[in-house]
Structure 1
Amino acid sequence: MAEFRADVTTHFAAQPLPGWRRAVLKVGSSLLTGHGGLDPIHAEGLARFVTRARAQGREVVLVSSGAVAAGRGRIGNAGNGIVQRQALAALGQASLMGFWQALFDMPVAQVLLTHDDLRNRRRYLNARTALLELLRLGALPIVNENDTVAVDELKLGDNDNLAAAVASLVDADLLLIATDIGGLYSGHPQRDQAARPIERVDAVTPALLAIAGDAGVLGTGGMRTKLDAAAKAATSGIATALFCGRDAAVVSALGESVLHGTLVTTNGNRISARKQWLRHAPASGVLQVDAGARAALLRGASLLPGGVRTVTGDFHRGDVVDVHADNGELLARGQAQYNAGESVRIAGRHSRDIEAVLGFRYDEAMIHRDDLVLLHRMQTPLETTK
């Protein structure tokens, strides 16, 4: 779907954007590259939108891909292996920042993140503090994955999901994802003549994911990752707008709070920053629980060791772990009170036996309810153990 060029102003009817004060705008590689390097033809319109939003008293955090493509533009074809792409990312970061700075009067600031930064609570809070301070100073934070060291992220092309995590991190009201097509269609618009635009999504379902397109040539994420990101943002009470960043009229309309694209809505419930962190922090292990523990968790209880059947992964006390039901259903995510080895030893035991088994006891629960967030109502398997 990445090369489809639709007149999106006619395919996607106008609809109002949700009201917002702070937004995260994600821009992918396919909108920034051309002729072997970075090309401002589409970025200029997006920069005008950001500048206009700032003049309206709004704040924007930019999540930008393009470092690898920029590096390739500087030295040519260096190969496409992981090591080569790490080197290209390092070569391209400076060019990418210079590219964006040339389009803005305001100072831009580079912020490189990895999933490890989102997993570790202290680093998560440090990143949040830095981003909010940059906004306070009137700078434009430009976030990218640290591709030079984040091997898994390079392979997965996760900047869409990174943008959702950043939206949660900074308490954004809206996630804007610029794509190279008009939005979500009911089928592949090039192959299916009956394909119609989907202008509103109230829940990201497996059926929607099934019709999502694959990755483009330059970018590494496709429409599926954008829907995954939108579903993650929705769980934090953040709506997502998918729109064509190649269409100047569509981008300009955003400045009037008008969307020609797909709006993924939210139930409006905002959760605490700690719960948001738990939702998006990558898990280091899995605790599989029985039916009794599943029912207790859904009632809001802590996870006691008696209901834990198996323990997988290598995690430390305080690390984030996923909680699965017997059938593999993702139920919850939380911070482990005991490390992996200790958890194996007390799994299936009564809480009163913990001290006898381990020689000490931190807590009667393996995950306390205050350190746990339920995920079972999510429509897609968005959070998986790496």
Structure 2
Amino acid sequence: MNQSSFSPFTEQTLPQWRRAVLKVGSSLLAADGGGLTPRFALGLAQFVSANVLAGREVVIVSSGAVAAGRAILPKAAEAGAAMAARQALAALGQAQLIALWQRFFERPVAQVLLTHDDLRNRRRYLNARATLNELLALGALPVINENDTVSVDELKLGDNDNLAAIVAALVDADALFIATDIDGLYTADPRSHADAQPINEVTALTPEIMAMAGGSGSAVGTGGMHTKLQAAAKAGAAGIDTFLFNGRNSDVVRGLAQGRLHGTRLHAGQSRIAARKYWLKHAPLEAGAILIDAGAARALRDKGASLLPGGVVGAEGEFRRGDMVEVRLFDAQGQQQIARGVSQYSAVDIRRISQHHTREIESILGYNYGDNVVHRDDLVLL
């Protein structure tokens, strides 16, 4: 690893990844005096394009709607403006924010507005994940922001860093890239401590490391380094590494597109698979179970297959879509628990589609949440 002439951080080689979330803060998009500027967004868009051309997938979590709204209605920008005024600015600026990103890409840009409640509620979580996966499959570029016009607490906290970490887990990303306005994590705030030293790698987010994070350094941004470390902790719990870098440094951004990091790598404590399996094994169970036949049980055990409705013989209890439930083999010997997983359908729906082909789901129910009753990624064998 070599020290560069343009960054105090030592060059590191990025690990291989196939899907990533890129979080871009307001400080990289806001123009002086209000509105948005493409000055730094262009380089970040080139990073996205280079990776998409290489066969990878990127989801952008972008702040900047409130800053964009200030240029449209500058009178509403006074410090201490009422929350409703800030929400109005977000509503006005959201279209400007999406237009800014669309100008850099030939592929369609899709706006996705989320609140933290969308991601805490398991059924809405599954709907959001299905939508994002479908957008990526269609070749679109999802640009996610908080739904600031209705999320009072989220807007107040300005917590797109943590939202980006949750989205990274939502889409099963391999990496979380956080573009900020400083070079990475230091032992102290380098803007006020001349002796602050760069930290190239963090293997564990200890209290000492968290104490090194300062506040927000920008008048337009609302998240500081502390929220970025909180985000890294959330991503790490899902087995996802986080990479902090200076999105204003064109050399750093170009290097990132070539697989070179000049910034801080925060290692996850475990693999994504291990984190996912741990959650599946220990998440609280709802009362009830999905009952399957011997053929479906063999497919789950021996082939790592998803559970399809044809192999389901019934459901016990009154669980809902998105609940964690037992999967039990039902035969002449009785019931035997063989797995647990997140059900894509409610117990009521499962009773109606059991022992039917996947192509019949929509004609039976009038809607379709996908071919799987439980997807293999949401299932763990016991």
TM-score relative to the length of structure 1: 0.69
| Alignment partners' CA distance in 2, 1:44 and 1:10 | 20
Q: Tell me, yes or no, if the aligned pair for 2:123 and 2:321 is still in contact at 8 Å.
A: no
> In the TM superposition, what whole-angstrom CA distance separates every residue of 1:34-64 from its partner, at most 9, and x where no partner exists?
1321000000000001000000000000000
Give me the whole-angstrom Cα distance separating, in 2, the residues matched to 1:241 and 1:96: 24
Deviation at 1:274, TM superposition (A): 9.3
Asked whether 1:74 is paired with 2:72, we answer yes
Per-residue CA deviation, residues 117-144 of structure 1 (Å, 9 max, x unaligned), is 0111110000000000000000000000
Q: Is the 8 A contact 1:8 1:260 kept in 2?
A: no
The answer as to whether partners of 2:98 and 2:111 remain within 8 angstroms in 1 is yes
RMSD: 2.3
CA distance in 2, matches of 1:17, 1:268: 17
Post-superposition CA distance 1:255-313 (Å, at most 9, x none): 1110000000113322338938x99xxxxxxxxxxxxxxxxxxxxxxxxxxxxxxxxxx
Q: Which residue of 1 aligns with 2:63?
A: 65
Deviation track 1:65-113 (CA, whole Å, cap 9, x = no partner) reads 0001101111113042211111000001111111110111111000000
**Number of the residue aligned with 1:148:** 149
CA distance in structure 2 between the aligned counterparts of 1:229 and 1:12, rounded to whole angstroms: 21
Equivalent residue number for residue 12 of structure 1: 9
Separation in 2 of the partners of 1:246 and 1:34? 13
Amino acid at match of 1:33: A
Is 1:31 aligned to 2:28, yes or no? yes
Contact persistence 1:241–1:261 (CA under 8 A): yes
- Higher RCO, 1 or 2 (CA under 8 Å, sep at least 6)? 1
Q: C-alpha separation between the residues in 2 aligned to 1:148 and 1:233? A: 26
Alignment of 1:1-386 (within 5 A): 9-35=6-32, 36-78=34-76, 79=78, 80-215=81-216, 216-270=218-272, 271-272=275-276, 275=279
List, as ranges, runs of 4+ consecutive aligned residues in structure 1 with deviation greater than 4 Å. 317-320
Alignment: residue pair count: 278
- Whether the 8 Å CA contact 1:18–1:239 is kept in 2: the answer is no
The 3-state SS of whatever aligns with 2:270 is: coil
Structure 2 stretches lacking a partner, 5+ long: 284-319, 324-341, 343-377
1:133 alignment partner, SS class: helix
Q: Distance in 1 between matches of 2:184 and 2:252?
A: 11
Contact 2:178 2:242 in 1 (8 A): yes
Between the aligned partners of 1:97 and 1:274, the Cα distance in structure 2 is: 37
Q: If you compute each CA radius of gyration, which structure gives the higher value, 1 or 2?
A: 2
Q: Distance in 2 between matches of 1:185 and 1:122?
A: 39
Change (3 A) 1:8 1:133: farther
- Assess, with a 3 A threshold, how the Cα gap between structure 1 residues 239 and 8 changes in structure 2: closer, same or farther: farther
SS at match of 1:266: coil
How far 1:240 moved relative to its partner? Answer: 0.4
CA contact (8 A) 1:8 1:261 kept: no
* 1:30 aligned partner, one-letter code: S
TM-score by length of 2: 0.69
Kindly provide the CA deviation profile for residues 339-382 of structure 1, in whole angstroms up to 9, marking residues without a partner as x: xxxxxxxxxxxxxxxxxxxxxxxxxxxxxxxx9xxxxxxxxxxx
> Is the CA contact (8 Å cut-off) linking 2:7 and 2:252 kept in structure 1?
no
Do the aligned residues in 2 keep the contact of 1:169 with 1:273 (CA within 8 Å)? no
Relative distance call for 1:124 and 1:183 in structure 2 (3 A) is same
**Which amino acid in structure 2 is aligned with residue 210 of structure 1?**
A
CA distance in 2 between counterparts of 1:46 and 1:269 reads: 27
How far, CA to CA, are the matches of 2:242 and 2:61 in structure 1? Answer: 14
Aligned to 2:361: none
Cα distance in 1, alignment partners of residues 14 and 97 from structure 2: 29
Tell me how far apart the structure 2 counterparts of residues 132 and 319 of structure 1 sit (CA, whole Å). 17
AA partner of residue 6 (structure 2) = T
Alpha-carbon separation, structure 2, partners of 1:266 and 1:97: 31
String of CA shifts for 1:218-255, please: whole Å, max 9, x gaps.
01000000000001101111000000000001001111
- Tell me the distance in 2 between the aligned counterparts of 1:141 and 1:274: 29
1:172-204 per-residue CA deviation (whole Å, 9 max, x = no partner) reads 000000000000011121222211100000111
- Of all paired residues, the percent bearing the same amino acid is 59
Q: Distance in 2 between the 1:88 and 1:49 partners?
A: 29
User: Secondary structure of the residue that 2:6 maps to in structure 1?
Assistant: helix
2:291 counterpart residue number: none
Q: Tell me if structure 1 keeps the 8 A contact 2:25–2:221.
A: yes
**Structure 1 counterpart SS, 2:264:** strand
- The answer to whether the Cα contact below 8 Å between 2:126 and 2:322 also exists between their aligned partners in 1 is no
Unaligned runs of 5+ in 1: 1-6, 280-316, 321-334, 336-370, 372-386
